[in-house]
Amino acid sequence: MGSHKQRQSWNAADYARNARFVSDLGAGVFDLLDIQAGERVLDLGCGDGALTEKLVEHGAVVVGVDASENQISAARARGLDARVMDGEGLDFDQEFDAVFSNAALHWMTDPNAVVQGVAAALKPNGRFVGEFGGHTNVAACLVALVAALVRRGYNGLDAIPWYFPTPDEYGQVLESNGFSVEEIALIPRPTPLPTGIEGWLMTFGESFFSVLPESGRDDMKREVIDLLRPSLCDSEGRWTADYVRLRFHATLD
């Protein structure tokens, strides 16, 4: 059968219920940003604004951008300056002291376009600090989802919506767009899933399940859960995602 690819859509309420841990685990990269009061900061892929709000609380003047209108509506409901904008088409000119991004860059599969836009948005010597899915992130989930589609006659690889680079690969992207890399590393982070693997699949696996007609999706979901159970579920029925994050701090030359 042919290939099919659908961009991930987002529902802010579902995200808050099934994936609040994503922003809760952003403390490390938040600290790396080391905000100074009065700095102008762009939060790239701000989602519903949970971390954007913390940037504001620390004294920054913050603009949040996200491609999801639903998530931006939730961010605006927090009183934030939040705008619908694709991360691969940023439209700023030397406006920010720093660009910050948590758990969003792996959804942007043209990293050069993203980093070019970040470089244009920063003032001279501005910094780009972020964390996102890195090489081997959710490897078990990815193998199970691809295998389930292949077994049904679909191109499972074509359904992958993510970009999970190695430090060397992403470091080269940064450097080729005018940044000096201060630090960059993969961080293994086994992450408990409060609503289990089904909640995770519902929130993050849309591009895989949308390949199928609706009548076949529940069967595939059951198969994927069965495939993942031996590696991601403990004897008490508690699920943990095999997260590996890429954290970096770069300065515009």
- State the residue for tokens 């890399």: 181
Q: Average pLDDT of 19-33?
A: 63
Residue from 76, 21, 28 nearest 52 by CA: 76
pLDDT at 27: 61
Cα separation, 121 vs 79, in Å, equals 23
Model confidence at 23, pLDDT cuts 50, 70, 90, reads very low
pLDDT of residue 67: 94
State the pLDDT at residue 19: 41
**What one-letter code names the amino acid at 161?**
P
Per-residue pLDDT at 11:
47
H or E element that contains 83: strand 82-84
User: Is pLDDT at 8 greater than 70 in this prediction?
Assistant: no
Q: What is the pLDDT of residues 178-202, one digit of tens each?
A: 999 999 999 999 999 988 999 999 8
Tokens of 112: 């050069």
Distance CA 76, CA 83 (A): 9
Report pLDDT digits (tens) over 136-149: 999 999 999 999 99
Cα separation values, 216 from 97, 144, 212, 222, 225, Å: 48, 16, 6, 10, 15
The three-class DSSP label of residue 180 is: strand
What domains can be seen in the chain, in order of their start residue? 12-252 (3.40.50.150)
Phi, psi values for residue 79, rounded to 5°: 85, 20
Give which of 42, 62, 44 is closest to 53, Cα–Cα. Answer: 62
CA dist 193 and 195 (Å) reads: 6
Residue range 113-134: mean pLDDT, rounded: 97
CA 149 to the chain's CA centroid: 23
Query: What is the pLDDT averaged over residues 240-249?
Result: 95
Whose CA is closest to 97, among 204, 214, 252?
252
How confident is the model at residue 17, as a pLDDT? 45
Confidence of residue 28 (pLDDT cuts 50, 70, 90): confident
Two tokens, residue 148:
């389930």
Average pLDDT over residues 28-56: 92
**Predicted local distance difference test score (pLDDT) of residue 157:** 96
Confidence of residue 60 (pLDDT cuts 50, 70, 90): very high
Mean pLDDT in residue range 29-51: 93
Does the pLDDT value for residue 125 go beyond 60? yes
